[in-house]
A and B are shown apart, each in its own frame.
Chain A
């Protein structure tokens, strides 16, 4: 049978998995919502959480869409669509697909038409990501019980421990922003954008404290991210004009 990575067959199998994952999201959304009400949490807090999470997601989702477009040039649309909207992340899927392609000796500059090559790449992408799903199913409960135990022993330390995990992650991702500064002024652009985001966040904090505008606090993270992304355009232009 003639193979086409954009065939309706491909779209159908991908649609089945995407619908499944949306169903899973809805299931846990409803479950958490009900539990939140049992715990006596305000519906307004939950609604604000939903709205601010949705707003926060828009820009990263658009950048993921750009990733789908770039991978579609050699894998067609359905497979990257599946892998980037439900399971992987751009760094993972792109590396997995290109590594697999080069191991098999396939070109990544044109659309794959050989079903065997396509299937091999799909297998590598799938087997590469599978362990995280298995690990979270096997060890998720043990890890969470460990945290509960840690907090019941010494609650203050338990909270500091969790905060330390966040800070460890944040410091790794902040550090990586400095990885390009050896390129000269151009390499500083990500650092300037990070500073812009930090400043917007600080201004949001001041507005909340001085003027008691509660909604700014709820939306501070999406505001600082989108604001810094918008500012990255003049920052980049200005930096390039200095070069």
Chain B
């Protein structure tokens, strides 16, 4: 009974916090328009939106379907509001659950994922705030050519380590989707900009392979 009430209260408060955040976000352009008395032509906004919405609304659906099961309820409400999911929050939560030896999808997993995402959000906000305020001191360091390779390669540096943890434990399931993705991107490098759309493709292939192996009793 206790378990149910925690989930229910997370969903209840999560929805309130998330919808209020959505309202506040809409109020940002509204207040710009009101304060400067500058309402853009609706056609301009629509033209811009037409270039963005088809891809990003699709990615939104995909992200909700794939990340909510991984992050758990509270982690998701927080993660979707604080953003930077695939390049920061999801790997951070996965790493934290792995280190704490809790199962994703369990209640302990949910709690650890929530703590990881909350801390990560707060740290990100603080670092960016400090960085913007002290920009004159930081800018030469951040944009120095010496450090440029490090920031250019942040995703390979992040996913290489994460892959070892997950692939080594589940190599039978991982082999097919990995090979598929490597071959796909080698043959079609132009797809790199829409990697978000390929996450569910990878997930579906993996689930299919896992189902077959599971039915055969191989995993």
A, B from the same assembly? yes
Establish whether residues A178 and B105, one from each chain, have CB atoms under 8 Å apart when the complex forms. no
Task: Name the distance in Å between B146's Cβ and chain A's nearest Cβ.
Answer: 7
7 A-B interface contacts by CB (under 8 A): A85-B129, A103-B47, A137-B19, A140-B11, A168-B207, A169-B66, A196-B160
Q: Chain A's interface: helix, strand, loop or mixed, by majority?
A: helix
Over the window 1-45 of chain A, the binary record of Cβ atoms lying under 8 Å from chain B Cβ atoms (1 yes, 0 no) is 101000001100110111011101111110111011011010001
On chain A, the residues within 8 Å of B45 by CB distance are 120, 123-124, 127
Task: Name the distance in Å between B217's Cβ and chain A's nearest Cβ.
Answer: 11
A153 in the interface (beta carbon within 8 A): no
Bound form: Cα–Cα A223–B44 in Å: 46
Residue of A nearest to B155 (CB): A173
On chain A, the residues within 8 Å of B85 by CB distance are 89
On chain B, the residues within 8 Å of A116 by CB distance are 38-41, 44
On chain B, the residues within 8 Å of A129 by CB distance are 25, 56, 60, 83
Establish whether residues A200 and B64, one from each chain, have CB atoms under 8 Å apart when the complex forms. no
Task: Name the distance in Å between A44's Cβ and chain B's nearest Cβ.
Answer: 10
Known: A116-B38, A159-B105, A165-B207. A141 touches B73 (CB 8 A): yes
Which of A25, A65, A104 is B78 in contact with, Cβ under 8 Å?
A25
Establish whether residues A168 and B191, one from each chain, have CB atoms under 8 Å apart when the complex forms. no
Size bin of chain B's contact surface: 35 or more
Task: Name the distance in Å between B100's Cβ and chain A's nearest Cβ.
Answer: 5
A111 in the interface (beta carbon within 8 A): no
Task: Name the distance in Å between B112's Cβ and chain A's nearest Cβ.
Answer: 6
Known: A17-B24, A58-B127. A171 touches B181 (CB 8 A): yes
Task: Name the distance in Å between B213's Cβ and chain A's nearest Cβ.
Answer: 9
Size bin of chain A's contact surface: 35 or more
Bound form: Cα–Cα A84–B131 in Å: 13
Establish whether residues B115 and A32, one from each chain, have CB atoms under 8 Å apart when the complex forms. yes
Establish whether residues A54 and B119, one from each chain, have CB atoms under 8 Å apart when the complex forms. yes
On chain A, the residues within 8 Å of B96 by CB distance are 49, 52-53
Bound form: Cα–Cα A222–B96 in Å: 10
Bound form: Cα–Cα A54–B119 in Å: 6
On chain A, the residues within 8 Å of B138 by CB distance are 65
Establish whether residues A228 and B166, one from each chain, have CB atoms under 8 Å apart when the complex forms. no
On chain B, the residues within 8 Å of A207 by CB distance are none
Establish whether residues B214 and A157, one from each chain, have CB atoms under 8 Å apart when the complex forms. yes
**What 8 pairs between A and B have smallest CB-CB spacing?**
A175-B181, A197-B160, A168-B203, A224-B161, A100-B48, A168-B202, A115-B38, A120-B40
A107 in the interface (beta carbon within 8 A): no
Known: A66-B151, A87-B25. A135 touches B162 (CB 8 A): no
Known: A57-B123, A194-B160, A228-B161. A36 touches B108 (CB 8 A): yes
Task: Name the distance in Å between B114's Cβ and chain A's nearest Cβ.
Answer: 4
Known: A53-B120, A179-B192. A126 touches B114 (CB 8 A): no
A185 in the interface (beta carbon within 8 A): no
Known: A29-B115, A161-B210, A164-B203. A24 touches B161 (CB 8 A): no
Establish whether residues B80 and A136, one from each chain, have CB atoms under 8 Å apart when the complex forms. yes
Residues of B1-54 contacting chain A, CB below 8 A: 2, 6-7, 9-11, 13-15, 17-22, 24-29, 31-33, 35-41, 44-45, 47-53
Residue of A nearest to B9 (CB): A31
Establish whether residues A163 and B170, one from each chain, have CB atoms under 8 Å apart when the complex forms. yes
On chain A, the residues within 8 Å of B200 by CB distance are 168
Establish whether residues A229 and B154, one from each chain, have CB atoms under 8 Å apart when the complex forms. yes
Bound form: Cα–Cα A182–B187 in Å: 9
Residue of B nearest to A175 (CB): B181
Known: A53-B120, A136-B18, A229-B154. A123 touches B178 (CB 8 A): no
On chain B, the residues within 8 Å of A178 by CB distance are 182, 185-186
Establish whether residues B115 and A49, one from each chain, have CB atoms under 8 Å apart when the complex forms. yes
Known: A24-B78, A68-B131, A122-B29. A160 touches B210 (CB 8 A): yes
A213 in the interface (beta carbon within 8 A): no
Over the window 135-160 of chain B, the binary record of Cβ atoms lying under 8 Å from chain A Cβ atoms (1 yes, 0 no) is 10011001100110111111111111
Residues of A133-162 contacting chain B, CB below 8 A: 133-137, 139-141, 143-144, 147-148, 151, 156-162
